[in-house]
C-alpha cells in the first residue's frame, strides 16, 4: 500500500543507486538526503538523530498534525531508519507541555520479566556475568515503546494509520544507509551472528557501504499489524508469538503473560524552579534525571556561574563536584520507586542541596571513595533523543533506547526488530559497575516487574509559563550531566543553542573518580584541572544533544548535534 503521505510528494526523476524501486521524494527522498544542523523558523520544528525521521515529523506538522503527531511519526520512523537505537523493542520516556499548559510524563521504560530474579546474572560462585545482562535474549526487558506510543496518541490529532505509514513505507521499500550506519553495521556483523537464532537482514556477506538499500520486510509486517490491531498488534497475536518463539529458541525468559501485562504509566512530571525565573520540567523515576537534574541545579543556583563563564576552570571545577555529589546519591538511593522507598523530596530540596554543597571546596578537587570503579565507553550512541514543537505551543521531548547499540543484538525472528538489553541498567550485583561504569545497590536490584533505573532525561524549560527550551540527549550516564550543562550553557553562560549543543562537554559520575572530557576542550583548562588533582580521561564525544529554543513571537531555533547525523527540520 502506498500512503497518501508519500503520494503527496512529487515523484522524482532520480533513481536511487542500488535500488530497484523508484522512491517518491520531493521533500523526502529516502535515497538522497543529508543532515542539517540548524533551522530557524516560526511554525514548528523537529530534531532527531536521522534526517529522514526529522523530515517525516515536519511533514506531519505541515499536514495539520501537532507536536505529538510529529513525535509519533518520528518515533516510528526512527525504528526503521535508525536501528541502532530507534526502536519498537526498547523503551523510554516522554515529557511534554501542552498548549493548554499541562505537563505530561509518560513512562514506557522496559520492566523485568516475571521470571527475573535478583541474582540471575551471577554464576555459581556469585560472580557477575555482564555478558549475559548485556547481550542476547536474557538481557532483554519487556519492551515498552509501543505502549508508550499509544499513550502519546491520546494527545495527537491525526489517526495512527497516517502517523505509522511513512515508517511502513520505509521498511517495505527501503532507504539508503549513510556512511556511519554502514560502518556501524559492519562492525557488528560478528555480534549479530552470535546473538541471533535466525540471521536478520542486517547480516550479509559483503560489507555495507554508503547508499546501500536497507529493506526490512519483516519489520514492515510488524508495523502493519500495529496499524491494523493497535496495541494488540504488538503485545498479542502474531508479534507476541514471534517474540515468545524467539525467547524459547534463545533461552530468554519473556513470556506471553509479561507482554500482555505490560503497561506504559502516566507519571507526574518533575517540576522545579531555577533562579526563580525558569521552570524545569523533566521525567521522574525510574529516570534518575528527575532527581539528579533538580539536585544539581539546586546546588549551583546560588553560585555566580555567569561570572565564571563557560569552560572556565572555576565553572568546570564547580560543576564537576556537583556532578560527583549527585552521582554518589544516584548509586545509593535511586531505583524504581514503586519497588523501593526513595527519599525523593529530600534529595530534591534546596536544604539538602545546601547541605551537600558544604562538601564543596572551591580550591581543591574532591575525591570519591574508592569502592568500585568501572570504565565508561568512549562513545555512547545507543539511546536516541528527539523533540518536536508546533505553532500552538505544544512541546514534546522523548528519549528512547535499546540500551547498548542495537540493544541485545538479537532481532526477533520473523518480526524484524531488535530487542533491548536494558536488564543491564539494573544493578546486577551491588557495587559491580554496569556498562556505563555506574554502580548501585538494593534500590536498583532486579525484581520481577520492576523497572530498571535510567539516565534518560527528556526535559522542557519554561520561561514565563511558556516553553523556552526543549532538550535531551543519548549517552548513558552522561545524559543527565549533558542536559544539566546545556541548560546552564544557555541560561547562565549565555551561549547560543548551537554553541550549547556543539561546544565540548565533560562528565563526572562519582565512580570512577575521573572527569571525562571531550578532546576539543580547552587544553589549558585541562592542564589546570590536572594540577588541581583531577584525573582526566579524554573521549571523542559525549552524547548527541538536541535543542529547540523558542523565543517571543514564536521565533524557533532548532539544533541537531554536530557529533552525529542529527538533523533539525522546521518550517
H-run or E-run covering 160:
helix 160-173
- Please give the size of the binding site for ligand GLY, defined by CB under 6 A: 9
> Is there binding between residue 454 and ligand GLY (CB under 6 A)?
yes
Which CB sits closer to ligand GLY, 401 or 485? Answer: 401
Residue 292: CB minimum distance to ligand GLY, A: 11
> Is there binding between residue 434 and ligand GLY (CB under 6 A)?
no
> Is there binding between residue 110 and ligand GLY (CB under 6 A)?
no
What are the distances in angstroms from CA 76 to CA 5, 385, 515?
14, 13, 36
Judged by CB under 6 A, the stretch of 50-58, 170-178, 453-461, 528-536 that binds ligand GLY is 453-461
Residue 48: CB minimum distance to ligand GLY, A: 17
Written as one string, the DSSP assignment of 292-351 is: HHHHHHHHHTTS-HHHH-TT-HHHHHHHHHHHHHHHHHHHHH-S-TTTS---HHHHTSHH
Where would I find the beta strands (DSSP E) of 63-217? 91-97, 103-108, 175-176, 213-214
Residue 443: CB minimum distance to ligand GLY, A: 15
Residue 425: CB minimum distance to ligand GLY, A: 5
H-run or E-run covering 267:
strand 265-267
Residue 370: CB minimum distance to ligand GLY, A: 24
> Is there binding between residue 476 and ligand GLY (CB under 6 A)?
yes
Q: Which three cell numbers, joined as nine digits, stand for 46?
A: 523537529
H-run or E-run covering 166:
helix 160-173
> Taking a C-beta distance cutoff of 8 angstroms, is the pair 429, 446 a contact?
no
DSSP 132: H
Which CB sits closer to ligand GLY, 173 or 455? Answer: 455
Residue 298: CB minimum distance to ligand GLY, A: 22
Query: Which 340-399 residues touch ligand GLY, going by CB under 6 A?
Result: 383
- Best CA proximity match to 422, nearest among 400, 439, 442: 400
Which CB sits closer to ligand GLY, 184 or 455? Answer: 455
Judged by CB under 6 A, the stretch of 41-49, 127-135, 248-256, 451-459 that binds ligand GLY is 451-459
Residue 154: CB minimum distance to ligand GLY, A: 24
Which CB sits closer to ligand GLY, 336 or 425? Answer: 425
Residue 458: CB minimum distance to ligand GLY, A: 11
Judged by CB under 6 A, the stretch of 68-76, 183-191, 353-361, 449-457 that binds ligand GLY is 449-457
Which CB sits closer to ligand GLY, 23 or 380? Answer: 380
> Is there binding between residue 331 and ligand GLY (CB under 6 A)?
no
- Best CA proximity match to 304, nearest among 509, 462, 488: 488
- Backbone dihedral angles phi then psi of residue 232, each to the nearest 5 degrees: -65, -20
The only residue of 48, 388, 401, 482 in contact with ligand GLY, by rule CB under 6 A: 401
> Is there binding between residue 289 and ligand GLY (CB under 6 A)?
no
Q: Which residues pair with 538 in a beta bridge?
A: 517
Cα gap 154→150, rounded to integer Å: 7
Strand 213-214 with 175-176, pairing = antiparallel
515: three-class secondary structure by DSSP? strand
Judged by CB under 6 A, the stretch of 255-263, 271-279, 454-462, 485-493 that binds ligand GLY is 454-462
Which CB sits closer to ligand GLY, 222 or 383? Answer: 383
The only residue of 323, 390, 425, 514 in contact with ligand GLY, by rule CB under 6 A: 425
Which CB sits closer to ligand GLY, 107 or 246? Answer: 107
Q: Is 74 among the residues known to form the active site?
A: no
Query: What is the x/- site pattern for ligand GLY, positions 496-535, by CB under 6 A?
Result: ----------------------------------------
> Taking a C-beta distance cutoff of 8 angstroms, is the pair 544, 474 a contact?
yes
DSSP 32: S
> Is there binding between residue 456 and ligand GLY (CB under 6 A)?
yes
Number of H helices, E strands in the chain: 20, 19
> Is there binding between residue 455 and ligand GLY (CB under 6 A)?
yes
Q: Which three cell numbers, joined as nine digits, stand for 551?
A: 523565543
User: Max alpha carbon distance in the chain (Å)?
Assistant: 67
Which CB sits closer to ligand GLY, 116 or 569? Answer: 116
DSSP 275: T
> Is there binding between residue 446 and ligand GLY (CB under 6 A)?
no
Cα gap 45→40, rounded to integer Å: 9
Which CB sits closer to ligand GLY, 49 or 163? Answer: 49
Residue of minimal Cβ distance to ligand GLY: 454
558: three-class secondary structure by DSSP? strand
Which CB sits closer to ligand GLY, 456 or 490? Answer: 456
The only residue of 66, 135, 213, 403 in contact with ligand GLY, by rule CB under 6 A: 403
Catalytic residue selected from 140, 213, 239, 383: 383
Residue 536: CB minimum distance to ligand GLY, A: 24
> Taking a C-beta distance cutoff of 8 angstroms, is the pair 387, 398 a contact?
yes
Residue 267: CB minimum distance to ligand GLY, A: 15
> Taking a C-beta distance cutoff of 8 angstroms, is the pair 410, 469 a contact?
no
- Best CA proximity match to 272, nearest among 244, 288, 294: 294
> Around 488, how many Cα atoms within 13 Å sit in the side-chain half-sphere?
31
* Active-site amino acid positions: 383
Q: Give the residues lining the site for ligand GLY (CB under 6 A).
A: 383, 401, 403, 422, 425, 454-456, 476
Amino acid at each position: 500500500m502506498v500512503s497518501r503521505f508519500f503520494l503527496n510528494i512529487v515523484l522524482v526523476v532520480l533513481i536511487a543507486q542500488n535500488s530497484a524501486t523508484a522512491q517518491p521524494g520531493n521533500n523526502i527522498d529516502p535515497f538522497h538526503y543529508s543532515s542539517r544542523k540548524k533551522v530557524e523558523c516560526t511554525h514548528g520544528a523537529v530534531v532527531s538523530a536521522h534526517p529522514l525521521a526529522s523530515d517525516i515529523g515536519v511533514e506531519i506538522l505541515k499536514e495539520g498534525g501537532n507536536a505529538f503527531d510529529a513525535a509519533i511519526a518520528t518515533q516510528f520512523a526512527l525504528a526503521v531508519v535508525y536501528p541502532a537505537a530507534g526502536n519498537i523493542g526498547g523503551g523510554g520516556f516522554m515529557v511534554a507541555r501542552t498548549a493548554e499548559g499541562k505537563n505530561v510524563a509518560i513512562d514506557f521504560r522496559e520492566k523485568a520479566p516475571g521470571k527475573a530474579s535478583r541474582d540471575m546474572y551471577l554464576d555459581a560462585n556469585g560472580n557477575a556475568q555482564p555478558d549475559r545482562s548485556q547481550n542476547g535474549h536474557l538481557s532483554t526487558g519487556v519492551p515498552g515503546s509501543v505502549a508508550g506510543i499509544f499513550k502519546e496518541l491520546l494527545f495527537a490529532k491525526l489517526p495512527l494509520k497516517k502517523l505509522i505509514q511513512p515508517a511502513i513505507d520505509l521498511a517495505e521499500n527501503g532507504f539508503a544507509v549513510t556512511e556511519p550506519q554502514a560502518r556501524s553495521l559492519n562492525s557488528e556483523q560478528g555480534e549479530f551472528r552470535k546473538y541471533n537464532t535466525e540471521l536478520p537482514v542486517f547480516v550479509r556477506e559483503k560489507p555495507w557501504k554508503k547508499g546501500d538499500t536497507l529493506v526490512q520486510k519483516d519489520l514492515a509486517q510488524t508495523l502493519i499489524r500495529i496499524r491494523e490491531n493497535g496495541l494488540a498488534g504488538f503485545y498479542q497475536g502474531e508479534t507476541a508469538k514471534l517474540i515468545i518463539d524467539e525467547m524459547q529458541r534463545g533461552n530468554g525468559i519473556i513470556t506471553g503473560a509479561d507482554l500482555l501485562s505490560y503497561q506504559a504509566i502516566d507519571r507526574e512530571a518533575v517540576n522545579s524552579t531555577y533562579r526563580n525565573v525558569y521552570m524545569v520540567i523533566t521525567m521522574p523515576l525510574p529516570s534518575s534525571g528527575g532527581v539528579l537534574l533538580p539536585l544539581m541545579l539546586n546546588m549551583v543556583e546560588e553560585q555566580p556561574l555567569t561570572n565564571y563563564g563557560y569552560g572556565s576552570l572555576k565553572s568546570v571545577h564547580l560543576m564537576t563536584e556537583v556532578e560527583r555529589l549527585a552521582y554518589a546519591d544516584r548509586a545509593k538511593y535511586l531505583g524504581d520507586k514503586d519497588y523501593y522507598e526513595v527519599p525523593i523530596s529530600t534529595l530534591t530540596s534546596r536544604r539538602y542541596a545546601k547541605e551537600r554543597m558544604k562538601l564543596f571546596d572551591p580550591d581543591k578537587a574532591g575525591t570519591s571513595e574508592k569502592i568500585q570503579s568501572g570504565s565508561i565507553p568512549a562513545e555512547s550512541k545507543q539511546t536516541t533523543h528527539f523533540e518536536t514543537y508546533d505553532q500552538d505551543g505544544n512541546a514534546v521531548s522523548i528519549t528512547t533506547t535499546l540500551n547498548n547499540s542495537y540493544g541485545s543484538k538479537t532481532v526477533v525472528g520473523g518480526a524484524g526488530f531488535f530487542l533491548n538489553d536494558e536488564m543491564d541498567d539494573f544493578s546486577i550485583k551491588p557495587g559491580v559497575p554496569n556498562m556505563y561504569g555506574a554502580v548501585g545497590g538494593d534500590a536498583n536490584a532486579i525484581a520481577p516487574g520492576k523497572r530498571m533505573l535510567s539516565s534518560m532525561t527528556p526535559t522542557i524549560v519554561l520561561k514565563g509559563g511558556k516553553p523556552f527550551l526543549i532538550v535531551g540527549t543519548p549517552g548513558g550516564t552522561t545524559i543527565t550531566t549533558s542536559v544539566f550543562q546545556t541548560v546552564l550553557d544557555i541560561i547562565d553562560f549565555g551561549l547560543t543553542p548551537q554553541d550549547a549543543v556543539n561546544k565540548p562537554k565533560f562528565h563526572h559520575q562519582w565512580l570512577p573518580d575521573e572527569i571525562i572530557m571531550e578532546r576539543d576542550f580547552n587544553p589549558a583548562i585541562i592542564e589546570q584541572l590536572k594540577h588541581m588533582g583531577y584525573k582526566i580521561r579524554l573521549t571523542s564525544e559525549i552524547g548527541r544533544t538536541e535543542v529547540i529554543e523558542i523565543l517571543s513571537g514564536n521565533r524557533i531555533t532548532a539544533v541537531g548535534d554536530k557529533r552525529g547525523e542529527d538533523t533539525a527540520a522546521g518550517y
